[in-house]
Amino acid sequence: MDLDPRGEKRCESPYRDYYSTGGCYRPPKRRRSYGWLAAVLGFFLLCAAAYIAMDRRGAPPEETMRQHDLDTEQVTAAVLPSDPAAPEETAALTPAAEPLAGEFRMTISSGSGRKMELPDIYKKVIPSVVSITTLTPGGNATGTGIVLSEDGYLVTNYHVISGAEEIRALLTSGEEYRAAMVGWDETSDLAVLKIDAEGLTPAEFGSSDSMEVGDAVVAIGDPLGTELRGTMTDGIICGIQRDVHVGDRTMSLMQTNAALNSGNSGGPLVNMAGQVIGINTMKLKSNYTPVEGIGFAIPVTAAGPILEELAEKGYVSGRPAVGFSLEVLSDRLRLFYDLPGNLYIRQVAENSDAYAQGIRAGDVIVAIEGTEVSTLDEFNTIKNQFKAGDTVTLTVFHKGGEMDVRVTLMDRADLQ
């Protein structure tokens, strides 16, 4: 046996050249340092702190009443979403007309007209139905429109063209045009467009006031996109002057069971004389219970004056505005900064009475007219009960303390 001088078993060690004893052992392990791990954790903690400090940016302004699927915990009315369209190569389009004020006047027939068969109704109305395609930052979407005049005025829903970078109108003849925005109104969900075309077939409009529950109607539009454009469904009028709550406002609408789907927005609801008596806009939906056959249309009698004003001025006068934009802070940020409310003022228009009364960016809205509010819908619901020129009381958190401020509402058009 190979023994070392001390009589112990000799073994070869890879460390023999470094340690003179040459014994059967390994050198002690070096202590590991965890300083790098502490440095990495510290870096991520700094990033998290910076994120919290910057998390206040980028929320939507109060004055923009967004049109989207307005689901609640139970049943709600929801605007018919524009149907996403696949990107496609298009032929050369006719340039958009100048979006200038026009002389459009809407004529509504007082009589109910002669009753027609369904095929004849379709043949009469379809030349006045337009397929609307919009290009938005999120992609393409589609809806439906109606020809208002021979010289290219069209109507559709505001939520169809909201946020669009480009709008295209496809006629039944197959001609496609770029459309210019003439005017829009979020409150009524209506928009007037203009294309550079002549000799169009305008729709015949009938009085929605003459409709009764049980009257037969048809809806024409582009359900689920242009692949099914020109689809006609039939039904009846199921309700008159339904007060439907949509986000922060209430709309008085006609109810129908004619099938409406994504893409039908802005299309016509037609009586049996082939007259457009409504503009399809939304349907009832539920998170938990299947809901079918409950759709709504804007009565033509109510829409007429709005469309004329949009064509003439580009906006509807008298819509109330407070003159500042809000963002909704999360509860986490509200607690972190120890604020009394969630509605944080981002910007104040210098031509507004709110600015004159000392309200500034960085203030927080606690209540309006004595009612505490924590969401945009709650704030706008109360604000929209007033008109431009009225005065409301705002409870504002300003420079560390709360104060009540009397503010005169301005016309929203003055902010555009």
Q: How do strand 108-109 and strand 205-206 relate by DSSP bridges?
A: parallel
* CA-to-CA dists, residue 170 to 32, 133, 154, 408, angstroms: 71, 8, 11, 44
Which residue among the candidates 82, 128, 159, 185 is catalytic per the annotation? 159
- CA pair distance 324, 394, nearest whole angstrom: 12
DSSP for 332-398, written as a single string: HHHHHTT-S-SEEEEEE-TTSHHHHTT--TT-EEEEETTEE--SHHHHHHHHTTS-TT-EEEEEEEE
| Contact yes or no for 99/181 (Cβ under 8 A) | yes
How many CA atoms within 13 Å lie on the side-chain side of 62? 33
Q: Which of 131, 208, 265, 352 is catalytic?
A: 265
Q: What distances in angstroms separate CA 41 from CA 50, 54, 98, 278, one per listed residue? A: 14, 20, 58, 62
Q: Is 17 a catalytic residue?
A: no
Torsion of CA 401, 402, 404, 408, to 10 degrees: 80
Contact 178, 96 (CB under 8 A): yes
Residue 159 appears among annotated catalytic residues: yes
- Where do we find the tokens 């004003």? 309
Q: Which of 189, 222, 248, 363 is catalytic?
A: 189
Closest CA to 3 of 17, 24, 18, 25: 24
- The catalytic site residues sit at 159, 189, 265
